[in-house]
Structure 1
Amino acid sequence: MPDPTPSPLRVAVVGAWHVHAGDYARRTLEHPHAELVAVWDDDPERGAALAGDTGAPFTQDLAGLLARSDVDAVTITTETVAHREVIGQAIAAGKHVFTEKLLAPTVAEADEILTAARAAGRQVVVSLPRLYHGYATAVTEVVDGGTLGRLTYARVRLSHDGATAGWLPERFFDPATAIGGALTDLGCHPVYLVQRILGSTPQTVSATYRSLTGRDVDDHAVVTVGYADGAIGVIEAGFVSANPFTIEVFGTEGSLTYSDATGELLLSDAKGRSWHAAPVPADAPDAYDRWLTAIATETEDTDNLERAVELTRLVVAANEAARTGTAVDYA
């Protein structure tokens, strides 16, 4: 990756609500072209704890923080429901934005954010980390190469035991701030991977949400998407069991599987009788690096943002399908 800035990008953390707030703060601390200058959160205890962990000063004054000339950019890890307002304030203050998914609770709000960023010449990148992992590159190359034939089915599962083991903060189960449960948070990763494999725009979205722990949002979920060409995608996410991350893709001429239990990408023939390992390249530059590059080159990361908007669209459709018990027209 080229040197993205002539001097370190001065970054502030805006929000300690999300569990990845500390991860992005550490990414800033460890990056040779970034510097962490401050932490803000609307909960002083939570914000001060993150500030203590990172060594950055804590402030309770968001407007004052965004007005500072020594803050070039912010990482946004507030509750999802606050994204439009907080990201909008940051852009209006002239700050570049790296944000946790979802970009916004609705497609209209996501579009509003990006329109404002483009008008202001500010760069926004959304954390969609698994798009840039080596296995995602390998799967895409196999699919695009056509060796699987006509694609018929793709399934991606990601889960952890945060709800049953008790380590996921209770605020993640508050529908008023989190917007949803397992699908809306962890399920974003299987969503954008299925969209990458089968296409961003299915025809229909169906969903089954359940709460094993009795909370007010889903703690595990399955979403099924149907495509105009006949392909089916299955998206699985959960907070109630720690299973290996899994990708399966089937076609008329072959199949593909990947699991982080083994780290192997396996390909088979049409009959599924002969399997062999395929190479998995190193990870590509991650979303944070892509953000710094976008800032340095004054070039929008269009692929990231288009996928972030379609991710939002599909999650909104899945939540509606689960709420109504019907298949939702994606358009």
Structure 2
Amino acid sequence: MTVTIGIIGAGNRGRKHTEEYQAVEDTRVKAIADVDEDAATALAEELGVPDVYADFRDMLADDEIDAISVCVHNNLHEPMAVEAFDAGKHVFCEKPLAGSYADAKRILEAAEDAGKHLGVQNMELFTGETRAAKRFVEEGRLGDVSFARSVYSRRRGRPYVDGYGTPSFVQKESAGGGPVFDIGTYEIGRMLYLLGNPAVERVNGQTFEYHEDSYGEELVGENEELYEERFEESDYDVEDAGTGAARLADGSRLEIRAAWHMFSPDERGTVVGSEGGLAFDPLEYLTTASDYEITAEVDVEDYERRQALIESESGYDASDRPTQFDHWVETVRGTVDPIPTGEIALNSMLVMEGIYLADELGREVSVDEVAEESPSRSIDL
């Protein structure tokens, strides 16, 4: 069965999704939709996609299309995804699931009402390290898992201001939040997945905004004015960094740090249990034996290579392990037991929005408070 895809958004993410789908066997990208029809046409011509639409709704009317990839800014996810589900399409959505928990919840509810699959982009769920870590957890090599730390932190890496991306990344109106939503969602999702995606009970957190004072003349010299101009032009109104912690229903705890710009030493993500722990990048297993402390590097690459050889027909045509796009296409086909990326993304939204609300109120918050206070940030179409 060939799975036929429609892409909403002709920007960087739309290009990436199109190229990824075109590398998946028996998968066809039939159309690209974007309000900038010229951009959609240029991308379609470059990548050999036959159909172009200025209005995504016209693309949804195409009965040949099985699934839609939503590749636009966060606050457009909810209206577009819901309309796609209403049109009978499966939906794969860029991260985070939406610009708020309330909007994300509506997306998942729309998927359930339509009886269609929801996939959410999170490359970290499909890495060799994550596969290995999940196996260690499921086989009980960590014992009773009680703690995880999620870290995605840069010293200098703010969208647009630091030379990449567009101003939409740093505006609440389009993105909903800053690095907590943008990059925090990757590692929060991975750690929740490894913990078994337990329900969230309470969240605390704080955000930090350095903005104009973040680069002094001693750091940037002659480029100081350029950074200041980019900051002003961008209408930057989100955080530079966010930290927090979530108390989970099974008694475990998740700590979080997400930053585009924070002068903090590197810190590794971890998952810890009663009999062992894992640290990421590179993946290491920490335990004790015969009263010795042991730190063992896990050879993920060699394992993945050997598995590919074993599973190949000839033994000589081993290739990369399946990507999240392979997994999503097989989910649409119904040939795999899918990783619940939608449920993980919704749980991640509770944690991330909980950090913002806790910062606003100056105290720990319950998930009920997060759900009650979560606004809709969806942009009317």
TM class, shorter-chain normalised? 0.7 to 0.9
Match of 2:361 in 1: 324
Match of 2:348 in 1: 311
**Rg larger in 1 or in 2?**
2
Structure 1 residue aligned with 2:298, among 278, 281, 294? 278
Match of 2:21 in 1: 28
Match of 1:265 in 2: 284
Q: TM-score, normalised by structure 1?
A: 0.83
Structure 1 residues 267, 116: closer, same or farther in 2, change over 3 A? Answer: same
Q: What is the Cα deviation at residue 279 of structure 1?
A: 4.2
Q: TM-score, normalised by structure 2?
A: 0.73
Q: What is the alpha-carbon distance in structure 2 between the residues aligned to residue 65 and residue 254 of structure 1?
A: 50
Alignment of 1:1-331 (within 5 A): 5=1, 7=2, 9-16=3-10, 19-44=12-37, 46-48=39-41, 50-51=43-44, 53-56=46-49, 57-160=51-154, 161-163=156-158, 165-198=162-195, 199-214=197-212, 215-227=236-248, 231-240=252-261, 246-259=268-281, 263-269=282-288, 273-280=293-300, 281-282=303-304, 285-297=322-334, 301=338, 303-331=340-368
Q: What is the Cα deviation at residue 224 of structure 1?
A: 1.4
Q: What is the alpha-carbon distance in structure 2 between the residues aligned to residue 115 and residue 156 of structure 1?
A: 27
SS of the aligned residue for 1:10 comes to strand
Task: Tell whether the 8 Å contact from 1:125 to 1:301 is kept in structure 2 after alignment.
Answer: no
CA root-mean-square deviation: 3.1
Q: What is the alpha-carbon distance in structure 1 between the residues aligned to residue 116 and residue 40 of structure 2?
A: 25
Q: What is the Cα deviation at residue 46 of structure 1?
A: 4.9
Q: What is the alpha-carbon distance in structure 2 between the residues aligned to residue 200 and residue 298 of structure 1?
A: 26
Match of 2:316 in 1: none
Q: What is the Cα deviation at residue 173 of structure 1?
A: 0.4
Q: Please give the per-residue CA displacement for 1:185-240, whole angstroms capped at 9, x wherever unaligned.
A: 11101111222234432332112212333531012222212346654321222223
Q: What is the alpha-carbon distance in structure 1 between the residues aligned to residue 148 and residue 79 of structure 2?
A: 36
Structure 1 residues 51, 318: closer, same or farther in 2, change over 3 A? Answer: farther
Q: Mind listing any 5+ residue stretches in structure 2 that lack a counterpart? A: 213-235, 305-319, 369-381
Q: Taking every aligned residue pair, what percent have the same amino acid on both sides?
A: 25
Q: Mind listing any 5+ residue stretches in structure 1 that lack a counterpart? A: none
Count of residue pairs the alignment pairs up: 321
Q: Please give the per-residue CA displacement for 1:82-104, whole angstroms capped at 9, x wherever unaligned.
A: 22211122222222211112223
Task: Tell whether the 8 Å contact from 2:200 to 2:350 is kept in structure 1 after alignment.
Answer: no
1:236 is aligned with what amino acid?
R
Task: Tell whether the 8 Å contact from 2:198 to 2:250 is kept in structure 1 after alignment.
Answer: no
Q: What is the alpha-carbon distance in structure 2 between the residues aligned to residue 167 and residue 132 of structure 1?
A: 25
